[in-house]
Amino acid sequence: DSKTNEKVKDESETKSGTKVSQKQVRTIAKSDPKAAKPTIKLQAGEDSKDNSTAVKKPGVHKVLSLDVTNAPRDANAMGQFGQAALVGSNEDGEVKKRWNEGHFNVFLSDKIPVDRAVPDTRPEMCPQHLVHDNLPSTSVIFCFVDEVWSTLLRSVHSVLNRSPPHLLEEIILVDDFSTRDNLKEQLDVYMSQFPKVRIVRLKERQGLIRARLAGAAVAKGEVLTFLDSHIECNVGWLEPLLERVYLDRKKVPCPVIEVVSDKDMSYMLVDNFQRGIFKWPLVFGWSALPAEYIKKHNMTISDPIRCPVMAGGLFSIDKKYFYELGAYDPGLDVWGGENMEISFKIWMCGGEIEIIPCSRVGHIFRGQNPYKFPKDRQKTVERNLARVAEVWLDEYKDLFYGHGYHHLLDKKSIDIGDLTEQIALRKKLQCKSFKWYLDNVYPDMNPPLVKAEGLVFNRGLRKCLTMQKGSLLFEKCDLSKQSQHFNYTWMNHVHQQDLCIASQGKGSGFALQLCDKAKPEHRWFHKSPNSALAEHLIADFVSQHMCLEAGPQGDTLRLNPCESGNSFQKWQFTHYHAQ
């Protein structure tokens, strides 16, 4: 694929921290009620199901733009057609009171219809796209814990009302041990009117990863479609996803995730050409494809977009392929990191992740998780990420730990669990390296493997550090001498080959030791020129924050209290990589 080696720049729209909605959302003007009318045009069946042929015939029917509802739609209802719902002048207290039930405007969600219409936000050409008659059927899996009643219902109705019935095998609701009792009986009663809806109840809290696995284990459809439990599927959302899986079972398509406002429940558009990316330390974000890439590949706004990582919540995957890939690492707890795991796994082991602009699903992005984490939230997420890093990142895992996660290398501070099976799986599937992934799938990231390198110049002495016979000395700087070349790494090591400079505490200076990531005395804080305490090499040894200082004669090297004006404490590497 010629697209794979393309250089892609500009990562403007990434936010760090928790997962957030795509930026630059736009509210939709009053929509055309006609857009909500059902238009069912099913053509006579194609020849029998056959997914084995390598070259598929082109699709034969236009995407079905279904939007049905049992009752006549109340055009005057609040929030109808995806519009903002309004809070009455004296209802602010009520809104506030109920906010924490879901960390969005639960009060308004309860006031708008559970099967409201949403505006058809697809690019203009989407309804004209042809798809096959013999697409595989799908099981839609929602896992949830204490989901807001009206929102859960709206999610289910949107699937029932906007999916071609013959493609919807079933909807599986996996209740991840919700604590609200009313959610149980009430849900059984309500869902009993829909033969396609099945409820699976977990006997203890498993977290979304194992909850999804529990849903997948009982699914009967050929394709699994995972959705969050606070979404609204848009018109024509399903067929474009299934079409991609039908064309190639190793394609993992994701809908465009649009935004249902947490404040007023309005359905909002997002920018075109957005793809999922990550930044260190494995933080998910969105970024637009650069204009020159779009131009070069002649892309229109309805073309599938290659996606380095998926957001996580919404995607379809061939069920057999999901299990061939080993599904999710079941050792991941509660929330977080599983989107990185499955994304790296898919790409590195022969699959592809795509965003399909003709498939659109609205999602309520919340500022906080509305449910409790059985253990500390931060510890849970960083443990999940460390598992992913250890299995998939190869030498690049130093960049993960180096961006604020050094403490995870201290084996006493965290137990990331057993990884034998995950590592064996990667071997068995003969997956490619993380370097391959970066070069071919996410070339614009191009991360430096060290923070700085080259000669280590001491400002006071005006000489360079050199390693000779297992000891450190000073010499006239000479770029051609390998003995003067050092790396400053993401582990904060200053090393030459496998020997690291280790601090030994006040007065006693340093030692050269075999580099060990778990040893804090091998770590040096060092900032490139132009920042506070710039150029100092600050020992991280028992947090005393002592600085490495050259003796005025160049015959000693010891740790002393840091002084910002002391040039014998200032060190400069030849090259600093942009971080």
The residue from 119, 240, 255, 312 that contacts ligand UD2 (CB under 6 A) is 312
Q: Give least dist CB 392 to ligand UD2, A.
A: 15
Question: Could you tell me how many residues make up the chain?
Answer: 579
338 binds Mn ion (CB under 5 A): no
369 binds ligand UD2 (CB under 6 A): yes
Residues 225-244 that bind Mn ion (CB under 5 A): 228
Nearest CA-CA partner of 105 in 87, 78, 82 = 87
**CA gap 133, 62 in Å, rounded:** 10
3-class secondary-structure state, position 227: strand
**Which listed range, 4-12, 60-68, 79-87, 310-318, lies at the site for ligand UD2 (CB under 6 A)?**
310-318
Which helix (H) or strand (E) element contains residue 374?
A: none
Query: What Cα–Cα distance (Å) separates residue 422 from each residue in 284, 288, 376?
Result: 22, 32, 24
Q: Give least dist CB 414 to ligand UD2, A.
A: 19
- Residue 203 is encoded by which pair of tokens? 């006997």
Transcribe 165-193 into DSSP letters. Answer: GGGEEEEEEEE---S-THHHHHHHHHHTT
The residue from 261, 339, 496, 572 that contacts ligand UD2 (CB under 6 A) is 339
How many CB atoms are located within 10 Å of the residue 462 CB?
Answer: 12
Q: Which is nearer to Mn ion, 169 or 228 (CB)?
A: 228
232 binds ligand UD2 (CB under 6 A): no
148 binds ligand UD2 (CB under 6 A): no
Q: Give least dist CB 230 to ligand UD2, A.
A: 6
Residues 442-501 that bind Mn ion (CB under 5 A): none
Centroid of chain to Cα 124: 29
Q: Is the dihedral of CA 16, 392, 383, 406 positive or negative?
A: negative
Q: Give least dist CB 427 to ligand UD2, A.
A: 26
**CA gap 563, 104 in Å, rounded:** 50
405 binds ligand UD2 (CB under 6 A): no
Residue with token string 């200076």 = 509
101 binds ligand UD2 (CB under 6 A): no
Q: Give least dist CB 395 to ligand UD2, A.
A: 25
Q: Which does 311 bind (CB under 5 to 8 A by kind): Mn ion, ligand UD2, none?
A: ligand UD2
List phi, psi (to 5°) of 286: -110, 145
**Which listed range, 185-193, 195-203, 220-228, 476-484, lies at the site for Mn ion (CB under 5 A)?**
220-228
338 binds ligand UD2 (CB under 6 A): yes
Q: Which is nearer to Mn ion, 101 or 239 (CB)?
A: 101
336 binds ligand UD2 (CB under 6 A): yes
Q: Which is nearer to ligand UD2, 208 or 219 (CB)?
A: 208
Q: Give least dist CB 225 to ligand UD2, A.
A: 13
539 binds ligand UD2 (CB under 6 A): no
Residues 172-201 that bind ligand UD2 (CB under 6 A): 176
Q: Give least dist CB 427 to Mn ion, A.
A: 33
**CA gap 367, 395 in Å, rounded:** 34
Alpha helices per DSSP H over 224-279: 238-247
Residues 272-301 that bind ligand UD2 (CB under 6 A): none
Q: Which is nearer to ligand UD2, 144 or 344 (CB)?
A: 144
Q: Are 569 and 563 in contact (CB under 8 A)?
A: yes
For 133, residues 6+ apart whose C-beta sits below 8 A from its C-beta are: 43, 44, 45, 46, 60, 61
**CA gap 130, 533 in Å, rounded:** 62
Q: Give least dist CB 572 to ligand UD2, A.
A: 41
Q: Is the dihedral of CA 527, 530, 535, 541 positive or negative?
A: negative
Query: Contacts with Mn ion: how many residues (CB under 5 A)?
Result: 1
**CA gap 131, 9 in Å, rounded:** 33
Query: What Cα–Cα distance (Å) separates residue 526 from each residue in 473, 530, 535, 545, 578?
Result: 20, 12, 6, 11, 14
Q: Give least dist CB 143 to ligand UD2, A.
A: 4
Nearest CA-CA partner of 539 in 579, 571, 514 = 571
**Which listed range, 90-98, 192-200, 332-340, 477-485, lies at the site for ligand UD2 (CB under 6 A)?**
332-340
Q: Which is nearer to ligand UD2, 176 or 453 (CB)?
A: 176
List phi, psi (to 5°) of 211: -65, -40
**Which listed range, 192-200, 214-222, 223-231, 368-376, lies at the site for Mn ion (CB under 5 A)?**
223-231
**CA gap 406, 404 in Å, rounded:** 6
> Can you name the residues that pair with 140 across neighbouring β-strands?
171, 225
Residues 238-267 that bind ligand UD2 (CB under 6 A): 257
Query: Contacts with ligand UD2: how many residues (CB under 6 A)?
Result: 24
Q: Which does 452 bind (CB under 5 to 8 A by kind): ligand UD2, Mn ion, none?
A: none
How many CB atoms are located within 10 Å of the residue 13 CB?
Answer: 16
Q: Which residues bind Mn ion (CB under 5 A)?
A: 228
Q: Which residues bind ligand UD2 (CB under 6 A)?
A: 19, 143-145, 147, 176, 207-208, 211, 228-229, 257, 311-314, 334-336, 338-339, 363, 369, 371
